[in-house]
Amino acid sequence: MQPLKALFALSIGLTLLLTACSGAGSAAPAQTTVAITMNVLPDPPVVGDVLLYFNVVDDQGQPVAAAEVNVMADHTEMSGMTMQGNATDQGKGIYAITTNFSMAGRWKITVQIKNEALEYKQDIDLIIQ
């Protein structure tokens, strides 16, 4: 009788382990190719407040709507000089954020796009004059 209880407990434990590791219900977003173009105001961008706006379209050229767009800026020549924020949806696949660039030079802008259908990240270089 004792070996039967041990076998039963082992089978229950293995079932729970396999269920926990199966990842059921945690489907990752489908990967879609996205094209991001960035425009700035003023153009060319200068030290101070700059409006960054991003046009985001899918691989069919359709605007990507209802996305969370996180923007990070990192001064590539000055360690620790960074900025991060969420761009606001302007409609028709356009997202905008205003940031204050406190120093001239090369900045790396990282744009992360996420919605229920996709997750995508792209780096864009920006020179502040």
Element (H, E) at 123: strand 118-128
Q: What's the CATH number where 42 sits?
A: 2.60.40.1930
Q: Is there a domain that residue 47 lies in?
A: yes
Record the pTM: 0.74
Tens of pLDDT, residues 58-101: 989 999 999 999 999 999 998 888 999 999 999 999 999 999 99
- The number of folded domains in the chain is 1
| Percent of the residues in the chain that have a pLDDT greater than 90, as a whole number | 67
Residue 40 pLDDT more than 70? yes
Show the tokens assigned to 13.
């434990």
pLDDT for the residue numbered 37 = 97
Domain contains 20: no
User: Residue 41 sits in which domain range?
Assistant: 34-128
